[in-house]
Structure 1
């Protein structure tokens, strides 16, 4: 039921985007030379509609497009399907897109499409994920290894360096899933060798995570920690399962299971306030949308960038193969700072 609700919400957001972007496209564009972003269509493919995080990101796209004076095409949604992403990219290209913003969920299968777009001189900005192969104009992302590191240190300290932890790994076909998983494992091995980690591949699917947790709890009822690599898909089914087992108890209760997540969605913040989870790393959904569009516009305008600090509190790094990545800040959120008004999760409806 939860995924159905989210899919319905995602469909509603896409429909709203259609109406909003139609208004943007019909507005008079500022004057500009041929090939400038002032009169060039910029496209966005939304990666999925079953995640509260990505649905939040989708809400920001028309807002920042309008603020930056971008001629935004009606967004597409590839629904976590690489074949749909390829088809959408081809369609957007044929419809006149001069730059495309995308977030490939399978980072190993997009290389051919990137090569085709490169031949057509259509720059690509990759959001949240970095393609394993192929060229993009800019990657807009946070340091995903830091996500795993922060989660490890948080749980390791809460458990006093000993006990059992379940890790819901994202898809290992995604650079994000690999980065978070590798950093979490390396940190646990080096800093908290007394903690046993049960690694559970999920393909970013809440149902798989819930099934894995149910099995592990049956085998190991003394599990005391959970690392969810994506609260947008794992939060609701995890809380539902823990509630059914009477494990949603205050942190002072010996039965409490410490949970750290990734995303920073409003639902996670509310769970932190209730004491149902303990922390999350706030992925900047707002800044992902803002700077993905910023770089797409810059690419059309012929601008270039170099590694180093930016004027928006991030750092551009050279990740090899001629690819630059703007690594945006992603703070750890706990009960101590969950009400911070600067966090995007406190600025957007849940």
Structure 2
């Protein structure tokens, strides 16, 4: 399968939007712009979906951050994974004259019109978790999704000793996250573990689709040795339920155990690692996504600027063709570090 990333175009530059290049004072000590924070700066935040435990956790952290910081000017909407609803929510922000928005476009190839419209209203945009492929963006807040796939591949490949069959529950390949995770996984498998056969199952981030396709795969491949779930928030429960029904849910270390690696780092995944139901997950930092979504949205409202390089919060800001991206850390979690108190999944309310 070919995974492509179209080159982003730079739309809306004439609107006078500020492109970022680094880190804020208080974050890494390098910034320029409006100086003191404008307490009246209005910020719009859209919550992208509520069908995933990961995004429910993100919403919890974000709302808590708004309350803790007393950000009375923050408006919050929900788009429920609906592009039309997202567009409508952004139009509301425009009418309310917000100065910046923090959003998470799910269809990353269809963002040029959205971002051009925002910039035509002189609104800077922060994109959380997803990297818009078209249209200027003030800052992207996310982790390295290619690395997600690579980490999953390396762990799973070693667990299987470089041999056997693995089912890959892919996200939506129209989403940058879906095809970057898939590309990282495929590239690593081809290079490091050529003896492993990868069975790619596109799911569009839907748990019921993943379960149905995995069931068919198990019927055709009773010797399946591993599963890579690109989103534990939607795939974990359907996968474990199916394996239990088939009598295939055996704890790690026991004969017949199917090795499972996931992405997200939700509390349910950490509990599954403790039980031995799954072997590992890559912890996507929901807490840091929320923290820095608000952080950069406030900076965007003040037209502050940034430069590339390391930050003081364990990340690196890189340059994109259409803006910049703060790449946050996303550690691999196994039985060896599952109880680490720094993991967000160990301290959020379930």
- Is the structural similarity TM-score above 0.5? yes
* 1:35 positional shift: 11
* 1:333 positional shift: 0.4
Q: Which residue of 1 aligns with 2:327?
A: 327
Mapping of residues 168-179 of structure 1, within 5 Å: 168-179=169-180
Q: In 2, distance between residues paired with 1:35 and 1:95?
A: 23
Q: Which residue of 1 aligns with 2:141?
A: 140
Q: Which runs of 5 or more residues in structure 1 are unaligned?
A: 1-32
Q: Which residue of 2 aligns with 1:347?
A: 347
* 1:223 equivalenced with 2:203 (yes/no): no
Kept in 2, the 8 Å contact 1:279–1:334? The answer is yes
Q: Which moved more, 1:299-308 or 1:35-44?
A: 35-44
Mapping of residues 58-207 of structure 1, within 5 Å: 58-207=59-208
Q: Which residue of 1 aligns with 2:279?
A: 278
* 1:77 positional shift: 1.0
For residues 119-139 of structure 1, give each alpha carbon's deviation from its aligned partner in whole angstroms, at most 9, with x where no partner exists.
111011000000110011000
Displaced runs of 4 or more, over 6 A:
none
- Could you say which structure has the higher helix fraction? 1
The verdict on how the C-alpha distance between 1:223 and 1:118 changes in structure 2, with shifts beyond 3 A counting, is same
SS at match of 2:87: helix
* 1:178 positional shift: 1.1
Kept in 2, the 8 Å contact 1:99–1:299? The answer is yes
Q: Which residue of 2 aligns with 1:8?
A: none
SS at match of 1:290: helix
Q: Which moved more, 1:327-336 or 1:75-84?
A: 75-84
SS at match of 2:161: coil
What is the RMSD computed on CA atoms of the aligned residues? 1.5
Q: Which residue of 2 aligns with 1:337?
A: 337
Kept in 2, the 8 Å contact 1:76–1:88? The answer is yes
Q: Which moved more, 1:95-104 or 1:157-166?
A: 95-104
Q: Which residue of 2 aligns with 1:11?
A: none
Q: Which runs of 5 or more residues in structure 2 are unaligned?
A: 1-33
* 1:253 positional shift: 2.1
SS at match of 1:97: coil
* 1:62 positional shift: 2.1
Kept in 2, the 8 Å contact 1:38–1:71? The answer is no
The verdict on how the C-alpha distance between 1:36 and 1:122 changes in structure 2, with shifts beyond 3 A counting, is farther
SS at match of 2:224: coil
Kept in 2, the 8 Å contact 1:35–1:300? The answer is no
TM-score w.r.t. length of structure 1: 0.88
TM-score w.r.t. length of structure 2: 0.88
Kept in 2, the 8 Å contact 1:47–1:80? The answer is yes
Kept in 1, the 8 Å contact 2:42–2:301? The answer is no
Q: Which residue of 2 aligns with 1:252?
A: 253
* 1:69 positional shift: 4.4
The verdict on how the C-alpha distance between 1:159 and 1:317 changes in structure 2, with shifts beyond 3 A counting, is same
* 1:67 positional shift: 3.8
SS at match of 2:289: helix
* 1:91 positional shift: 1.2
Kept in 2, the 8 Å contact 1:65–1:72? The answer is no
Kept in 2, the 8 Å contact 1:82–1:110? The answer is no
Q: Which residue of 1 aligns with 2:319?
A: 318
Q: Which residue of 2 aligns with 1:19?
A: none
* 1:47 equivalenced with 2:53 (yes/no): no
Kept in 2, the 8 Å contact 1:148–1:181? The answer is yes
Q: Which moved more, 1:119-128 or 1:85-94?
A: 85-94
